[in-house]
Amino acid sequence: MGAPINIFRLFSYQPCGHELLVRAVRPAASNADQRALNAADDIADSATKHLCTWWEQRCLQPECPHQHTSSLVGEMQEGPVGEDLFSSGRRRLGVWAARTKYGAPWMVLGTASTEAEFWQQVQEDSDLLDLGPLAPAELRHVYFLTDEDHLSSQP
Ligand SMILES: [Zn+2]
């Protein structure tokens, strides 16, 4: 049985460059059962889509009412650097993002007060090093939303 994992996806909204970082849980599924794996992927995908739609309607449109197109610019399936991305969302954050040797959309993400501190924490985490992160990291200003933020209530 594989463990549940957090999936982080970073979306960029053009033409303005608004950025949304979403965290959704992919439930545990047996690695031997392709249907269960697909179902777990579908749960994470639909949670992500729901969060994007909520943000577009509640936050983006009131602030910037013209037409946007979104694209996936980053994804990570490991624990990030720092505490912020493990806790609740519905807030703006500065997030360090480094490309990896595996190409787009794979990234290593996290929060730290400086880029040097970000890299120091990456160096201490073998799971993150296995992702093959490439310097430099870029500071991105994102709105962070998770599937544990109770979105039915008012913002
Ligand atoms: Zn805009």
Tens digit of pLDDT at every position of the chain (155 positions): 678 999 999 999 999 999 999 999 999 998 889 999 999 999 999 999 999 999 999 999 999 998 999 999 999 999 999 999 999 999 999 999 999 999 999 999 999 999 999 999 999 999 999 999 999 999 999 999 999 997 765 54
Quote the ligand 1 centre to 55 CA distance (angstroms).
13
Quote the ligand 1 centre to 51 CA distance (angstroms).
18
Beta-carbon count within 10 A of 152 CB: 5
Quote the ligand 1 centre to 24 CA distance (angstroms).
24
pTM (predicted TM-score): 0.94
Residues contacting 85, CB < 8 A, separation 6+? 8, 21, 23, 93, 95, 109, 110, 111, 144
